[in-house]
Amino acid sequence: MSDRSLRGMRLGAQSMESESGVEPAPRQRVEYRCADGEQVFVTFAAEAEIPPVWTSKTGKEAILVDGEKPVDANEKAARTHWDMLLERRSIPELEQILEDRLKILRERRGARAS
């Protein structure tokens, strides 16, 4: 019985509502430009906050036309392993540790050679 009541309809595939009388929200088209000159157009809602930088489909960073690239004050320089090591140890301490480890390795090799 339930099969007959849904005959002729694809359940969930089509909406029964019509789009007559519906107006889309106001929009604005914004242009971005990559360093190599590639243009990127993005559509935003009229009241949306426009980001100063956009990533294009090709993965390049595009800057808002008539805008400036923001300077990120929170951007930190990449810390290397050596930088982090120097935060914990001084150079004389590191030299002493190196000498100790080399001494241990030399003793092991000497024991194996005998």
pTM recorded for the entire structure: 0.46
3 state SS for 11-42:
CCCCCCCCCCCCCCCCEEEEEEEECCCCEEEE
Read off the pLDDT band of 16 (50, 70, 90): confident
Report the distance separating Cα 91 and Cα 100, nearest Å: 14
Q: Strand 61-64's sheet: what is its strand order? A: 39-45, 27-34, 61-64, 53-55
Q: CATH second-level architecture of 27-64?
A: Single Sheet (2.20)
Torsion of CA 25, 31, 32, 37, to 10 degrees: 150
pLDDT per residue over 35-66, tens digit each?
A: 898 899 999 999 999 888 889 888 888 888 88
Which helix (H) or strand (E) element contains residue 63? strand 61-64
| Span(s) in the chain for CATH 2.20.28.270 | 27-64
Report the distance separating Cα 57 and Cα 3, nearest Å: 46
